[in-house]
Structures are given as structure tokens and as C-alpha cells.
Structure 1
Amino acid sequence: MASRFVEISVAEMASKIPGEDPSSQDRLHFYAPDLAIREEIGAEHEAEKYKTIQTVDNELELYPWLLRSIQTVFDRAGCTQYFVVEHPLHKSSDGKTIVDAGIYLSTPEARAATTLAADELALSEERRSESPYLGRHSWDYVAIPIEMKDPITWHPDRSHISISDSEEGDPALGQLPDYMSNVFNFQHRLFSWAIYVSFDHVRVLYFDRAGAFVSLPFVWTDTSSFLHDFIWKVAHMHKDQLGYDPEAVLLDPARDSDNVEVSRLREAIEHCKLPSKVQHYIKDAFPETHPLYRIRVTSSPPDPEDVLPDDRPKASSTPDAYHRNGDSRRSADPDRLSPVVAGMSHSALSASAGMSVHDASTQIEPSSTPTEPAPVQHRYFLVGRPHVAAESLVGRCTRGFIAFQVTSTAEAGTFCFLKDYWRPLVPGKTRPEHLVYERLRERLDPEDASISIATLVCGGDVAGPRAQMTSVQDALPLDARPAPRVHYHLVTAEIGIPLEEFENFTHLTEILSGAIYTHYKVWEDGDILHRDISPSNIMINAATNQGFLIDWDQSRCRSELNKDTAEPARAGTWQTRSALALRCPWKPYWFVDDAESFVHVFHLLVLRFHECIVPMGNLHDYVYEKYERSEQVNGVTIGGMRKLAEFQKRTPPFEVRGNISLQRVLDKLAELCCASYSTINVDDIIKRYGGTSSAHIPTDTTSDMPLSQRRKIFSLPSSRKVSSPEPVSAPEISATTPGLETETSGSLATPGDILRILQDYKGRDNDKAEDQFQARRSESVAPRVRHITFCSSSIDISIQGGGGSESKSLPVHFAPTLYLSTQYQQPPPPSPPSSSLSGSTTTPMPAGPLTIVASTSQSEGHAKTRKRRRSDALGVDDHD
């Protein structure tokens, strides 16, 4: 996939920035340092015609000159709403690297957050004499990050400008996407500008959730430079034009109304009656030192192309009011950025015909648009820092917040969960997630207490249908252009506990049994297939201690599944996708793929929380080989070879230590999966849907493990209907059902068989062990060594070594990986990350396509190589 960096000329970048250039009189008041002498050496190429003699030795000496240049522009413009800060301490208290400098919003809170403490002042005493701009960094308030590194190497052909692959050049661009990810995660931003400085050259960058515009480099050491023009325009911008979301208002302690809401929040936290674990989450989400925001969630009817296919009205009866935002198939104008950049108010785009998403008790806030036939609904919520946040910079970029409802409704004063993400816009294929919840609320039996999904409060596109959209995708090549993204909110009542916090394996089997039953009823009665069964999408309800399903944004209707696909499927979490869905990406996705995902969820949690004997002897290598290994076939990532091999055996792929009852469950699941796969011709499916692959089906280096002692499986006819509250076998889907000629049948197609196996487990209260992915890290033969080469169009990453991997962790409140995931964490991209075995997240990778070359486990006795591409090197959490 092509890079998400779009390199454009300085003139083109200038045309995308609102505002007028400074006058010649204004420029007389600007400052520009003389950093270098350019000596003509007569080279053939213009770019090499001059030799640059540096007059500064390192980037530290650049800081005061650059920030002085910026500040003089602010001073001339009379700008008091922004100020500049140099960060002398280049590592935060947790040891992570921070951005070199930044332009900040000038508020009392931002000033306080950037003031150096006494001990920090002592450490930076020498620098204070050289720069008056020293201060602490704050991801909460930085408006424009500034990164300064050693010189960039320019190719003679300006169309092939690249970043040097020197040791100094690599980390520079590698850190910038990390910094931008922090800006987006800590703040409520639609987009953000950034400045990248390398000696006397600068690039101005624009990031949104689709990618980044990057200007060609230009010399900034003259008062007529584009940097001075850019800062002049920034000085005259409203903060909305810097990318701040107008639907998220930073609370001001000086406003009495804000203080009233904050007081109610603090009182609700103090007197909270929710379970203790949820109370802990709430307190962490609203620390006294973190800024608070009031979020407005807009509920309005969707565009007709966004509704579920069997709910769509006929074209002749479509109300004109649905088209108030123009052609629903259009994407953002490639010649300009989002409406905020052009100075347009997003609230003007929120006008739309309205109907309630929730009940009649919702407070209605009338729209200011007089032509609107009916008002839309608005609800307001207070949020603090994210409870979870995806590490990706582009894609869905999901963030989850513990939210406090302040709208005057029956739910006012209660805590809930607010999911903020950028949904892909593919007309007729994707849809707002709350529409799925509404469908299920209408179709599922409200008296069936065993059905458990998250409870919808409200949801909708932020500021109205398709009001806030990405724009960078329109500048990407057609053959590599991703779908535009729409900013979206979903609010649900439950604050869930991660599945990984199950009490013991009896508790786990109960949770999974409930999730499997719910999944089946949603399919049978709601005609909806989830398509992303993973540990992170099965939560524990703290009030009932039972499980419930979340994240229905990738779900599809039954009518949408019975067809071949022209493009490789990208739904679901890589580690828990079915073997055939991974091996044959063009295969239609069906119910049995989700059913198999439940088995993978169970296997992963057993491997993580129970002592196991694995075929390769090394837990990390085995998990990597089975759940993360992949390869490229005709430009498409495939995997699942080990899963496929194991499911064609009647013996379990691994054995647990000292737990006969749990081993019996593994034995029976192995028999069930083998029986299902025996009903199909795997070779025919691969020929039809899998492309050509050089991949081998891996074989164990050890003999088949002996089966543990068995006991007779309680037999129920597979044609019996799943009942509640003790589900048994589901009715078989007919073999004549269209689209099932290449699907597994029998046990995996009848979830009652899986339920009986799980419900048969009788374990001990203390059968859950410590985290084995952490406890057995020392088994890894050798750490992987990552080498990164950057250029304007691609980034190559090489990983060498054994089953171990380098890992970096995000701030404590961010979502860990699959194995430590929390509510609403986004799954890894279709090409799996190589570091999820560590139990901690990896920081977002730099922009551009990744080619990763790695050897498999050295314990297998020989080195192998593989290549793969991540769906996007900016850390895409994209599945559509």
C-alpha cells in the first residue's frame, strides 16, 4: 500500500492554509537568523550547486533562533492566544521521548502545565541563559508540535526527496508520527499542523486520520520564508482552524456554569455506588490535574446509503431532507482541507431531518437552522482522559472515555461509556454503529435475559451526518486510496471490565457461553453477523459478572454475506480470525468464521493464563507462529497456515499442566473443529479463494501430544434449538443455503456443540495462573532488532532474531495489545503487529508501507524469511 504521506509543493500547501500573507511592512519586524554560509561549488545539479557551511553544531543551538523567529511574528500580529515553548527535558518522567518544542494555546491551564518545576529548573539552568522559551511539554495543550533534527539529505531530483537513513535521520521522522498520535489521543482534534526543522530547512505538515500532507522543504532563514507566512496565518486563526473539535468544549474553571457541572461530577464520583472496579476506572478517568471536556453527541437520521440494506426505503420515496449535505457519495474536496480549515462552522453542517435515537425522555435542543423540518437531538457528556486509546495514527483511531451525562434526561448524573472513532465511509457497505444496536433492540427478545449486548444510549456522526470528514485520502493515488473517514460517537450504558480479568476458567467458560449464545441469537433473530470476535470485544458486566458483546461497527447483514468478494476481506482481529479467512482472503465471510473465532479466543486465554506445554517448546514462538505469522501473496497478506494444520487433527494443539478437566475441553474442541473441517475440501477452497502461495503448512517439531483422560461427552441432537438460559445445540444451517458450498458445517455451524463443551467444564476456583506471556518472556531466543529506512514514499523495516520482540508502552491509561486489551480497544491491523506477545503496546510506526523481513523461531533449527506489509505504517486500525 502506498504511503499515507502526500508530498506537495510549498505553494500548494500555502493554498490550503486560510488567511492572508504578511505585508512587506510586517516583515520588517520579523526575525530570521543567519545560520549558514552557502558557497558555490559549481555542481551540475541545482540542488548541489552550493555547499552549506554550518555555523551551529547541533539542534540545541537551533531552538532559540527558531522560537525567536516565531515569537516575533506573533508579536507583530498582536497575537496573545498562542505562545512558544522549548522543551529542555527531552524525556518525560516515564522515560519516553517528547517533542522538541511546540506552539501552545495561551490559557491559564496551559501556562501552568508548561511551567518548569523547581527541580527541572535546576536541570536546565545552563539552557535558561541561552533561551527564554524553556518550559515543560504537555500533550494536553500543545497546538502545533515542532520537531528539530540534524540535516535532511536532499536528492538532486526534487521529486524524490527522502529522509536520510543515517542513525540521526531515522529516529527523527520515526518519532514525529508518535508525537502526532499523542496529540490526537490526548486532545480532541480533527487534524493538526506540525513543523519539522532540519538546520536551515523546514517542512510544514498537516495530519488528519487519513494521512498527512507534507510540504517540500524550504529555507526558513529569511523573513520572507513560508515559515514566517505560516506562523502569521496561525496567529490570526481561530483554534477551530488549527483542528480543534468545536463539538468538544474545554471546561473553563472561570465560568460558573462549568464549575456547577464539575461539582456535580466530583460529587457523583464521591458517592458512586457502582462496583469497586468500575469506581476505580472512573477515578482514573477524571484526575484533578487533567482537563475536562464537554462533548456534544448529535443524534440525527443517517444518509439513506448508511442504513442497513433491508431497512432502506425505495429510491422514489427517499425524503429530500436526507440529502441536506449534498451527494452522499462525495468525499472531501481534494483542493482544500476540512471545513474547519476553510473557516466554516461544523455546526452549520449538523442540520438534518431528525428522529430520536433514544427514548422520549431525551432533552431536545432545537437546531438554529430555520429550514430544518424537525430538530435533531443533542446530549452532553463530561469526559477526562481516555480510558483506552488505539495506538494508530490513521484509520478508525478508536478512543474510549468514561463519560458523565449532564443532559437533563432520566440518565443525567450517571456514568456511561463514550466511544469516539473515525468510521470508514463506503456507501452501501458501511454504516453508523448505532443503527445496528437499534436493529437489535427492535428484533431481539427483551425477555431473554441470556442475550447480552451493550445498551445503546445514543450515537451519531459528530455535528451531524458526515459533517467532519478526512481529506488527505483524496490526494492519494486511486489504486491506493483508502475510504474517507467520518468522525463518529457512540454512547453505551455499561462500563465493562476486560475479558482478561475473568476470575477463573469456570468463570471464563460461563462468559464465553453467554457470548456464543448472544452471537447466535443476533444472527438468527437480527440477521446480523458480528465479524470481529476477539478478547477485546467480549467484556464483563461488573454488575452481573457475565459477559456482553461490544463493537458492532464491522458487522454485516445476512444479505450482505452471501456473495464472493472482489477485494480481500479485512474484517476482524488478525489473531482470532478463522484459519480459512486468513488463508483465503477472497473467501466470503460466514457464520462459521465467527464461531471458530470463539475457539481461538478460548485458546489464547488458556495459553496466557494457564501453564501449557506447546509444540515448539517456546510459548512466544508458538503464539507468534500460530497467531501472528503472515506472508504476502500477490500484494495481499495471508496467514492461518498453522491454524489450518492443527484443525485437521483430532488432537489438541497444546496441553495444559495439572488440569484434567480443562484438557478435556481442549480435547473435545479439537475433535469438534477437526470434524467440521473434514466436511470441506480445503485444497479446493484455497484454489478458488486463496491465490497462489509458496507457504508451507507448518508441522510440529514434536510428535502429537498424548490425549488426556477423557470422559463421555453429554450428547444432544445437533438439530435441537438453542434455548435459554441453558443453551444447547443450535439448529443446523441447511447445507443448501447459498454460499455454504465452501464453508465448514456440522459442529462449528451449530454453536450448541461448542456451548455443551464449555458448559461441561468443572474447574477449581484458583485455576487461573499468572500472565504466562509475561512470566515466560525469558524463553525468547533472541530479541528482534528493528532497522528502519525512511523515504518520502516508503519505509522498510527489518526484524531479525527469535520469537521475542521489542516493545514500547503507551501512557498508563492507553489500551494495551490484544492480550491486555480493555473496552473498545481497536484490534490490530490485518497484517499483525510483531510485538503483541510482550503484553504491552507498540508505539505507532512511521508513515509509509512497511516491508518486514524476519526469521522464524531459532528453536526450529533453521532460519527462514518472510515478507509482509502492514495495512498502513502509520499504525492503521483499518478493516474496511
Structure 2
Amino acid sequence: MLNKLLCLPYDAWVQAFLPPQEHDAGIDDKAFDGLFDGVPLGETEPKMYDPFVKAVNGAGILADFVLAKTSAKPALDDKDGLKVDGGMYPKDCPAVTTERTDWASVEVFIECKPDNSYDPYDETTKTGFPFADDRRNTLGQISTYASRVFEYQQLTHHFGVVLLGSWARLGRWDRSGVVFSSVFDYKQEPAKLARFFYRVAHASAEARGHDPTATRVVKGSEDYKILQGWAAKAKAYAEDPSLAQKDYVGKQFVDSLNRARAWWRLRVVDDEHGVKEFLVGKPTFAAPGVIGRGTRGYIGLSISDPGTPFVYLKDCWRVVHDRSELEGDILSYLNAKGVKNIPTALYHGDVADQRTVSQDFCTCAKSGCAAEVVVETGVQPMQGGNDVQNTDGNHGESVEAASAESGTPLQEKAVEGTGQRATAGAEAQTTQKKEVCRLKTHRHYRLVVREVGLPLKEFPCGRILVWSIRDAIIAHQDAYEKAKMMHRDISVGNILIIPSTGKDGKTSYQGLLADWELSKRLDDYEKDARHPDRTGTWQFMSVRIQTHPETQVEIADELESFLHVMIYCAIRYLPHTCENVGDFMYRYFDDGLRRGEAEYTCGACKRMVMESGVLKTLSNQRIVFLRHRRAPDDEPPTEDDLHPIEDLLAELLQYFSARYILANGALVQPSRKRFAAYLVRDGRPRGLLSQDPETRTKLEERYELTRTHSPMIAMLEMASDKVAYEWPGPEDRLPDQLKPDYKPNKLEKIREKRSAPDDDAQQRSASKRHRSAASASRA
């Protein structure tokens, strides 16, 4: 939420979001005098909330709605047990009588705090982001509530109220940011809060944030009968595992018809194909948080095209930029170029004229701005040969990163594929600067693709994990060579698996690389950054990109991201010696080191692993992958106990480690040579490694293997296909070893895409195309 908060005076806030209507012209503000006198102060939250609910409900201002206390029970299918103090609900909603939170029906959520020391917005800070822990906790709490409402409903925006003793603050959330009203004393000025509730209760559904292109399926409707028929098949899939395996798409769709969640008919308007409609249940993937693209993925039952019953429907809020391409157009272009192992685009288009408005109230360049002013700088672009090696302020490029901890200046290094040299420092930066607001305009967008796949995390065994990643790298290579596109968002959620059962009963698998929304044409690498934040998924960014977000993404960065994906899946689902999976997952994938007030750089664990070339914990305990799970009292593993992925990861880590060794000082600076003899490491002077030509040559050869796709593809193919006999079968697949209740005390990181997401946040089931003989593997 940092840099995404704004504040407007109360009157301006109401005028902007809930302006007066004809029906409230005759209401006398004096009629509300003393309305909240019965709300006690200095008491616990429940003692405050009961009389508050009674006061508003008794005022006769809510039309067809009512305030309900919902802190007693969480939503029926809320695995986190999340409850909100209360909210405004339709009168006939069960939440009113059961006091159970209902995220699918709440119109306005209400959170109650004993005093204003819990205020989520701080006017004394430049960004409005509070410093005090209690205030930050409140902001995090209401942000979670808003995120849950957006996940359960089809909304453009949502309203919330925070009571702070006798004070109150109104909030409006959309995908760009949250705009708070100035704080006011609702006991002294009760009409301000009463007016808000009156206007939101009498507003149209669209003004309350409901998306008119999404129709909720109600009991007894024709759509309901269709979905009921599919839901009834759940028993058949449960009783016949072979049916569930053969018809895995139908099984996934039936699983999505969770009766505790709303079912919807969603409309997609395609400029070429017209209006298409789909029935959906619970999303198979929902990105956490409100701010950002808010991607949700659904398995859709096509109403418009009975010949294509199931599709994958992606619903998101794309960032608007004059050079941003629609993902559907990108996919169509890649499909036309013959790029293998990617989804097939069917329909896509913006959803009506729905756009965010929070950014419209940001005044970055003016005095008193509530949003951070980002100063963009770029490295002077250079290009040569076939590789484009220029920077645009989004990602790491050809100049290697120095250690953020040491502050060592970057060395002069040849730019890949150019024969030129660039100095990574102030000398290489352009002097032009411009102010860019971090609140971005977003447009609602939907994309439909033909294939429906399984998330990579559902790989049946370690060999298929490696095979699927190999297929995804082939897709990346194809896009780079045939279409001159760089994906720039490699993550565990963007690699999918298509299983296919043949007549012989054997199942083959194809990996697909999905989610091309953040991809970029190589021709655009010379131009200014489209987005001022990092682009990508934090957990899987290369060390270099996390450390230097202002540089361009190279092939080596993307291949390193594929390696991080492999480690991520292996640590969670394969046998190994790591004793604390939760701590390692956080330290390696989610952690970051603070740099300045609002930025984070790569965490210490990932940096240590990539620089040393050894997979180990932050406490220097090496992690070894095994063929079978070990008991605590087992003998130390022998060579025969090692899993085939152990050798594969060890070899790949050596290649990528060479990149960082060369970047971080393999050549001793001349001014330091006199001290080299006194700096001893591993029993010999520190400088000897870098002065050894043979070692230097070996490092350069390894690094060279990370700069093109073919070496890594060949390694993965050799491991998963040529020596398939060495791999265990499905017995090496374990239940998730990351405990669902693991909650590290982690700091919030700032990034453009998904919040360093929860581990499953990146698991998105997107689509894939049919398996080809060239990219199928027999399990």
C-alpha cells in the first residue's frame, strides 16, 4: 500500500464518489443530531459496535440494506478464518441473522477501533503511510478485508469505513489505490456519517462498485440449473479416479463450483467476434491484494460456443500506457509466429469503459502531493549484433549488479553481443529525469484462451516438473527468436501442465508458458520505461533484477527465474534435508533488504545461494534432495540416496554463480593488489582466484551457457528424458511441506506486480494448447 494512499477533505471525497442526488435533497442534517450519543468511548470494540449498528439501523436511512454485526463467524469457505466487525448487507442476507461474515454480499465493510491511535492514514508523512505499528496493522487489516471482497465479488471499487473511537474515516478502494476521506468526529458531526450511509444505500449498483457485465447466478435460474447439473458430477469424479484423470478439465470445473461461493455469468466483448458469455464458479487463481492488476483466473463454461465447452478466462486490470499491448493481441501475434508451448487466444477485450479513478486525484507535481514522486533515470542504450542490450528503467540488463551490502561500484564490463563496454554508474546514466506518479490508470480487461491446464505445483513427479519447465523454456526461446519478444514475468504460476492420456492408458505431459501481459518487444528496449516499478513476480526475479530494477531483463535473468521456479517446487514437494521449509521459503523467495524508505533489494539468502552456487539455508546448512523422505534418526544419506534433481540443480547453480562471481569482482582491482596477499580465504590469498587465468576462463565458459536458451534446454532434456530411468516414479512427490499456518514476520515489499505473494498466490491455472509430439513426455 505504500505510495498508493491518497486523502481528500471530507466534502471533496463525498462530492467525488457519492455526490448528492435528487432523493436526498430534502433531508435535514439536524435530524441526525445525537444519533451516535449512545456509542460508548474507551470501551472494547464489540461494546462500541452494537450501539453503533442499532443507531444506524434505527435511523431509517438504509433503504433495502441493514448494518450487521459479523465478527462472530468467518465466511463458510474462508480458510484463513477472516472476520470483519460488520458491514452493510442486503436485508435478506443470512449474514444479518447469523452474524457470519459474507464477503460475497457485503456492500460496505466496517472496522471498529477504540481510538484514533489506530488511524490507517497518517497526514504527517509524505505518502500517508503510517509509521506506528498499530496504525500499520490497521491499514494491513482493512487492506485484507478489501482484498477478500474483491476476490469474492465482481467489482470496480468498494467502500469501507473505519471507526476510531469518536472519529471516523471513509475509504474508497480500486485497483489503482485507496482514497481516504479526512478524519472527522462522527459524534460531533453525525450527519457526515449518516449522509454517507444514506447515499451509498440509495446509490445504483454500479455506483456502489458492481460490474454490470457480471451477473450473479441466482437459485432457480436457467444458468443455475446448468451449473447444478455439473456440480452433481462431483460424486462420479470422487468415486472414479481414472475418470478424474482423463477428464481433468471437467473435474477442475466441478471443483470450482463451491456452493459457499457465488457463481457468475461473465461477458467478454471482442472487437472481431462480438459478445461471448461464460459461466464460472470460484476462481482457480486470485492474486492477493487490491492494488495492482488483481488477476483472477476461471475455468469457464461457454454459453456462446457449445463446441468449445471449457475455456480459461482471465480477468484482470491492465495498466494503461500508450505502448502497452493487450495480452490477447500479444498471444495472437505469438500464435501466428508459430511459437510453441503457449496458450491459444480466442477472445479478449476491455470491459466496457471501466477504469480506475484513484490516480485522478493524485497531484504528484504539486505542493502537498500525497503520492511519491518517482524520478526515472536510464542507462544510455547500446545495441549491437542480434541481442538488444538496452535499459529502459524496468529491469536489469547487460551491466552486472554489484553487492548491495558492500556498496562496491560495478566493474566495467562488455555488453552482451555488442563488443562494446559500458560503465555501470553515474557516467552511464542519462541526465533526463521526469516525474512519474506511482498511482497508475488501470482498465478492466478479460482474455479467453482455449487450453485449460494444471498449475505447475500439481506436477505428478520430479521428472515431469523438470520436463514441464523445459517446455516453458522452449516457449521462451521461440518467442525470443521467432517473435522478438521477452516474457519478463517467469513465475511458478505462469508455467502450466497439460496432461493427455493415450489409448494405451499412459499419460504424457506438455508444459506451457502463460501470462504474456508484461512481455516486451525487443524493439522497445531502447524506449523509456512503461512502468516505473519493477515488472515481474518478486519471488522469482533474478538477483540482478531485484538489486537493480532500473536495468533491462536479459535472457540470463529469465533463465535464472526458471531455476528459481524449479527450486521453489522442489523444496515444497520433493524429499530433501531442509529442516525448516517455511523459514527457507521466506528467506529465499520473499525476503528483501530495505534500501531507502520505499524500496527493497534482493534478500540475503537468495544472493548467498546464487553467488556461492550452493543451495543452502541462511545459516549455511546445505540442502540435499533425496529419492525418499528421511526420518530424523536415519543415517546420513549416501550417493545412492540422492535424487536426480540434486545433480541437475547443483550444475545449474554453478553456471549462474559464475555470472555473479564475474560481476562482483573476479578481477582484483589494481589498487588493491598490494593487499591481496593479506586477505586469505580457504587457506590462500583472496586474490589468487581472480588472478588464475584457467579459473577465469572456466567461469566465463559457464556464464556463457546462461546467455542463450539451448544449453539449459539440453540439460533439462537430458535429465528428464535421456536418463529418465534414473528418476523415481510418483513416489518422490510429497504433500506440500510448507505448513499453511507459517506466518513469518516479514516486511512489506514494494513491487509492481503481485505482492511477494503468498506461496500459492502465484499458482494460476491458465490454459494451454494441445500436446504436440515434439513436446510430450511419457510418464
Q: Give me the TM-score of the superposition, normalised by structure 2.
A: 0.69
Look up the match of 1:861.
Answer: none
Q: Among residues 517, 528, 534, which one is paired with 1:553 in the alignment? A: 517
Q: 1:269 to 1:645 in 2, by over 3 A?
A: closer
- Paired amino acid for 2:461: N
SS in 1 for 2:333: helix
Structure 2 contact 107–158 (Cα < 8 Å) conserved: yes
Q: 1:752 to 1:34 in 2, by over 3 A?
A: closer
Structure 1 contact 29–72 (Cα < 8 Å) conserved: no
Look up the match of 2:72.
Answer: 89
- Paired amino acid for 2:646: Q
CA–CA separation in structure 2 for the residues paired with 1:744 and 1:637: 29
CA–CA separation in structure 2 for the residues paired with 1:159 and 1:656: 51
CA–CA separation in structure 2 for the residues paired with 1:625 and 1:58: 37
Look up the match of 1:631.
Answer: 593
CA–CA separation in structure 2 for the residues paired with 1:815 and 1:168: 22
Structure 1 contact 193–207 (Cα < 8 Å) conserved: yes
Look up the match of 2:414.
Answer: none
CA–CA separation in structure 2 for the residues paired with 1:432 and 1:743: 39
1:217 aligns with 2:183: yes
Q: Among residues 734, 755, 772, which one is paired with 2:713 in the alignment? A: 755
Look up the match of 1:337.
Answer: none
| 1:270 Cα offset (Å) | 8.8
CA–CA separation in structure 2 for the residues paired with 1:154 and 1:558: 48
SS in 2 for 1:240: coil
Q: Among residues 545, 568, 572, which one is paired with 1:608 in the alignment? A: 572
Look up the match of 1:469.
Answer: 356
1:592 aligns with 2:574: no
Look up the match of 1:111.
Answer: 93
Q: 1:629 to 1:299 in 2, by over 3 A?
A: same
**Gaps in structure 1 of 5+ consecutive residues:** 38-53, 117-134, 301-355, 357-361, 363-376, 446-450, 688-698, 701-741, 787-795, 799-813, 826-880
1:405 aligns with 2:302: yes
| 1:537 Cα offset (Å) | 1.0
Q: Among residues 390, 412, 415, which one is paired with 2:310 in the alignment? A: 415
Q: 1:170 to 1:269 in 2, by over 3 A?
A: same
CA–CA separation in structure 2 for the residues paired with 1:750 and 1:524: 11
Q: Among residues 373, 378, 387, which one is paired with 2:284 in the alignment? A: 387
CA–CA separation in structure 1 for the residues paired with 2:461 and 2:601: 34
Alignment of 1:258-297 (within 5 A): 258=223, 262=227, 275-297=246-268
Structure 2 contact 3–129 (Cα < 8 Å) conserved: no
Look up the match of 1:325.
Answer: none
CA–CA separation in structure 1 for the residues paired with 2:599 and 2:333: 34
Q: Among residues 481, 493, 498, which one is paired with 1:536 in the alignment? A: 493
CA–CA separation in structure 1 for the residues paired with 2:161 and 2:484: 49
Structure 2 contact 593–604 (Cα < 8 Å) conserved: no
1:582 aligns with 2:582: no
Look up the match of 1:61.
Answer: 47
Q: 1:267 to 1:151 in 2, by over 3 A?
A: closer
Alignment of 1:554-569 (within 5 A): 554-561=518-525
| 1:593 Cα offset (Å) | 1.5
1:764 aligns with 2:732: no
Structure 1 contact 592–743 (Cα < 8 Å) conserved: no
Alignment of 1:783-862 (within 5 A): 817-818=758-759, 821-823=762-764
Alignment of 1:352-363 (within 5 A): 356=272, 362=273
| 1:478 Cα offset (Å) | 5.9
Look up the match of 1:662.
Answer: 645
| 1:99 Cα offset (Å) | 1.4
- Paired amino acid for 1:140: A
Question: How far does the alpha carbon of each residue in 1:140-198 deviate from its partner, in whole angstroms, 9 at most, with x for none?
Answer: 1111112222121499x995499999997665444222111111111011111112223
Structure 1 contact 551–824 (Cα < 8 Å) conserved: no
Look up the match of 1:5.
Answer: 5
Look up the match of 2:170.
Answer: 204
- Paired amino acid for 1:522: A
SS in 2 for 1:142: coil
Q: 1:650 to 1:233 in 2, by over 3 A?
A: closer
- Bigger mean CA deviation after superposition, 498-507 or 621-630: 621-630
| 1:243 Cα offset (Å) | 0.6
| 1:102 Cα offset (Å) | 1.3
Look up the match of 1:426.
Answer: 321
CA–CA separation in structure 1 for the residues paired with 2:259 and 2:580: 45
Q: 1:648 to 1:153 in 2, by over 3 A?
A: closer
Q: 1:269 to 1:472 in 2, by over 3 A?
A: farther
CA–CA separation in structure 1 for the residues paired with 2:10 and 2:732: 59
**Gaps in structure 2 of 5+ consecutive residues:** 238-242, 363-369, 375-436, 501-507, 617-622, 627-640, 670-680, 683-699, 720-725, 750-754, 767-779
Structure 2 contact 234–251 (Cα < 8 Å) conserved: no
- Paired amino acid for 2:149: V
SS in 1 for 2:355: coil
1:101 aligns with 2:83: no
Q: Give me the TM-score of the superposition, normalised by structure 1.
A: 0.62
SS in 1 for 2:206: helix
- Bigger mean CA deviation after superposition, 163-172 or 388-397: 163-172
Question: How far does the alpha carbon of each residue in 1:432-454 deviate from its partner, in whole angstroms, 9 at most, with x for none?
Answer: 21111011111116xxxxx2112
1:242 aligns with 2:214: no
CA–CA separation in structure 2 for the residues paired with 1:235 and 1:815: 36
Structure 1 contact 676–747 (Cα < 8 Å) conserved: no
Q: Among residues 534, 543, 565, which one is paired with 1:570 in the alignment? A: 534
CA–CA separation in structure 2 for the residues paired with 1:567 and 1:797: 20
CA–CA separation in structure 2 for the residues paired with 1:748 and 1:13: 53
Q: Percent of aligned pairs with the same residue?
A: 22
- Bigger mean CA deviation after superposition, 649-658 or 217-226: 649-658
| 1:493 Cα offset (Å) | 2.2
Structure 1 contact 213–472 (Cα < 8 Å) conserved: no
Structure 1 contact 209–395 (Cα < 8 Å) conserved: yes
- Paired amino acid for 2:712: I
- Paired amino acid for 1:15: Q
Look up the match of 1:183.
Answer: 149
1:378 aligns with 2:279: no
CA–CA separation in structure 2 for the residues paired with 1:158 and 1:172: 12
Q: Among residues 440, 443, 451, which one is paired with 2:337 in the alignment? A: 443
- Bigger mean CA deviation after superposition, 202-211 or 21-30: 21-30
CA–CA separation in structure 1 for the residues paired with 2:587 and 2:527: 31
Structure 1 contact 220–227 (Cα < 8 Å) conserved: yes
CA–CA separation in structure 2 for the residues paired with 1:404 and 1:637: 42
- Paired amino acid for 1:402: I
Structure 2 contact 179–358 (Cα < 8 Å) conserved: no
CA–CA separation in structure 2 for the residues paired with 1:171 and 1:646: 33
1:152 aligns with 2:116: yes
Question: How far does the alpha carbon of each residue in 1:493-551 deviate from its partner, in whole angstroms, 9 at most, with x for none?
Answer: 22221212212222222212211112111111111111111221111113352211111
Q: Among residues 451, 471, 480, which one is paired with 1:514 in the alignment? A: 471
- Bigger mean CA deviation after superposition, 434-443 or 596-605: 596-605
Q: 1:744 to 1:576 in 2, by over 3 A?
A: farther
Structure 1 contact 269–282 (Cα < 8 Å) conserved: no
| 1:823 Cα offset (Å) | 1.5
Look up the match of 2:399.
Answer: none
Q: 1:487 to 1:167 in 2, by over 3 A?
A: closer
| 1:222 Cα offset (Å) | 6.4
| 1:557 Cα offset (Å) | 0.7
CA–CA separation in structure 2 for the residues paired with 1:612 and 1:158: 46
Structure 1 contact 569–587 (Cα < 8 Å) conserved: no
